[in-house]
Structure 1
Amino acid sequence: MGLQAALRLIYPPQCVNCGERVDSDFGLCGPCWRETGFIAGLVCETCGLPLPGEGEGEGAQCDDCLMLGRPWERGRAAFLYRDVGRKLVLGLKHADRTDLARPAGEWLHRAARPILQAGMLVAPVPLHWRRLFRRRYNQAALVSARLAHLAGLAHCPDLLQRVRPTGSQEGRDRAARFGNLAGAMRVHKRRVALAKGAHVLLVDDVMTSGATLTACAEACLAAGATRVSVAVLARVAKDA
């Protein structure tokens, strides 16, 4: 304990966003916390998007989920994809900020608690092997591993495969996003037995249209999963 106290004096905990001193490791300072856009209150039961109104609103859905009919049952998101939240996601995704996976997993675990169930199989949205080779890690897998550990759930980082490179979704409209992902995902041949009969919790860093999660959920159901739920670190809102 003496050594730990000395190290804290020399290297005090810093905000994971701005570097200001904070009380605990892997935390955010007050201003950064307020600018992260953590989601609370009434949310869409299917994707976690915040909704106007108050209360629990069990079964409430956003317009997109009502219109599209998602292939998964329930979903949650930790924060909106804007301001500090967007910066944190981009740091984890493109700037080798793998240290962010620990707090990100904790934030997502807290957000996903209402939909977590015993026996769930946690699996990340996969990267194509070429992108994984360039990036050296799958940010969704880092976050899903932390969430699964905190929730005491089984984690399968290679449950799904992205069988062809899909390119960036940025700049595509909704129809193009869904078309770009059509047939791009499948359950790994060595994991089919694990998926069969499972309630899969898919984890990703960002949800915009839901095209990627739709492709993953459909692949899980085709392989015999009985149910699918989703949890994403950040949710893009139309006004974001």
Structure 2
Amino acid sequence: MSVKAILRDSLAPLVDLIYPPRCPLCGAAIGAQTGLCSDCWSELRIPSEPACATCQRPFGHSAAGSGAVCAVCLVKPPRHDGIAAGTLYGDGSRKLVLAFKHGRRIALAPMLARLIVARLPALEGTWLVAPVPLHRWRLWSRGYNQAALLAREVARLTNQTLALDPLIRTKHTATLGGLGRTARARALRGALTVNPRYAAGLKGAQIILVDDVLTSGATSDACVRALKRAGADKVIVACFARVLDETDGEVPENETPGALTPGAP
């Protein structure tokens, strides 16, 4: 056990005495500083099997056999090598994302990351863990990249290598809400590029691309395209909350679904 872990565990009773554990969503008393109350846990929708063998989209019925592929992936095979979503987007995950992303509750990052890691496949070999980048204007406005905070925790939990900026967002894109999939992809064209410092290290690399919410997939697809053009071998998209296609069009890309302030950065 590391010195940091020993100090954390030894000081935990004192921290709990001064700051009694409370559910970060509803404020109810809980047993530890790192979770939710049972009622709030029950609001989270965890992806289940059976699921698409390509994108891990739950089928919602038991008729699909092992290795079955969803209609979306059959029509247009994705560039990524799988999606690992901690939750399906709903009331519970919405509250957590709003608190984390817009409410500046960055202490939620470890808990959200644990849910993401629970959905990752067995990782063979060495992987880079990289966040979906923010444009510098949006980063300056918000003060932090929520995807980077999650990526740091995912790297720690999986004992893999954190790469904070292999991708650069070179173009500040306006809100993409209301646009179709093709229009969103067009708006993101040229907005993402590989950081020259990482160009050589990406050849043959296995990468976990981390974000908080996966909506239409336009942003993650642009990231995957850039990484694979740079020579990456595999890219898994990992997110805390995944919006299923049935609600696509109701949720603006680049914005938190259900954000309290329209157009918030």
1:221 to 225, 228, 236: 228
2:40 aligns to what?
Answer: 32
Q: Which runs of 5+ in 1 are unaligned?
A: none
1:129 aligns to what?
Answer: 136
Give, in angstroms, the shift of residue 31 of structure 1. 1.0
Q: How far, CA to CA, are the matches of 2:148 and 2:47 in structure 1? A: 22
Q: How far, CA to CA, are the matches of 1:61 and 1:52 in structure 2? A: 13
2:52 aligns to what?
Answer: 44
Q: How far, CA to CA, are the matches of 1:9 and 1:220 in structure 2? A: 47
- 1:212 maps to 2:236: no
Q: CA RMSD in A?
A: 2.0
Deviates more, 1:46-55 or 1:193-202: 46-55
Specify whether residues 2 and 203 from structure 1 end up closer, same or farther in structure 2 by C-alpha distance, changes over 3 A only.
Answer: closer
Which amino acid counterpart does residue 70 of structure 1 have in structure 2?
P
Deviations 1:56-86 (A, max 9, x none): 9543333322222211111210111110101
TM-score, normalising length: structure 1: 0.91
2:26 aligns to what?
Answer: 18
Specify whether residues 194 and 91 from structure 1 end up closer, same or farther in structure 2 by C-alpha distance, changes over 3 A only.
Answer: same
Deviates more, 1:88-97 or 1:98-107: 88-97
Give, in angstroms, the shift of residue 118 of structure 1. 2.7
Which amino acid counterpart does residue 205 of structure 1 have in structure 2?
D
Q: How far, CA to CA, are the matches of 1:125 and 1:6 in structure 2? A: 37
Q: How far, CA to CA, are the matches of 2:165 and 2:243 in structure 1? A: 26
2:242 aligns to what?
Answer: 235
Residue pair 1:49, 1:76 contacting (<8 A) in 2 also: no
Which amino acid counterpart does residue 194 of structure 1 have in structure 2?
G
Q: How far, CA to CA, are the matches of 2:34 and 2:40 in structure 1? A: 13
Give, in angstroms, the shift of residue 13 of structure 1. 1.4
Which amino acid counterpart does residue 146 of structure 1 have in structure 2?
E
Q: How far, CA to CA, are the matches of 2:232 and 2:156 in structure 1? A: 22
- 1:107 maps to 2:115: yes
Which amino acid counterpart does residue 72 of structure 1 have in structure 2?
H
TM-score, normalising length: structure 2: 0.83
Q: Which runs of 5+ in 2 are unaligned?
A: 1-8, 248-265
Specify whether residues 27 and 196 from structure 1 end up closer, same or farther in structure 2 by C-alpha distance, changes over 3 A only.
Answer: same
Specify whether residues 57 and 233 from structure 1 end up closer, same or farther in structure 2 by C-alpha distance, changes over 3 A only.
Answer: farther
Q: How far, CA to CA, are the matches of 1:137 and 1:236 in structure 2? A: 23
Which amino acid counterpart does residue 218 of structure 1 have in structure 2?
R
2:207 aligns to what?
Answer: 200
Give, in angstroms, the shift of residue 115 of structure 1. 4.9
Residue pair 2:205, 2:232 contacting (<8 A) in 1 also: yes
The total of aligned residue pairs comes to 239
Residue pair 2:55, 2:81 contacting (<8 A) in 1 also: no
Give, in angstroms, the shift of residue 183 of structure 1. 2.1
1:148 aligns to what?
Answer: 155
Partner of 2:24, secondary structure, is coil
Deviates more, 1:192-201 or 1:61-70: 61-70
Q: How far, CA to CA, are the matches of 1:55 and 1:116 in structure 2? A: 28
Deviates more, 1:39-48 or 1:169-178: 39-48
Which amino acid counterpart does residue 164 of structure 2 have in structure 1?
P
Residue pair 2:204, 2:231 contacting (<8 A) in 1 also: yes
Specify whether residues 48 and 188 from structure 1 end up closer, same or farther in structure 2 by C-alpha distance, changes over 3 A only.
Answer: same
Residue pair 1:46, 1:76 contacting (<8 A) in 2 also: no
In percent, how many aligned pairs have the same letter? Answer: 41
Which amino acid counterpart does residue 145 of structure 2 have in structure 1?
N
Q: How far, CA to CA, are the matches of 1:236 and 1:26 in structure 2? A: 25
Q: How far, CA to CA, are the matches of 2:234 and 2:141 in structure 1? A: 33
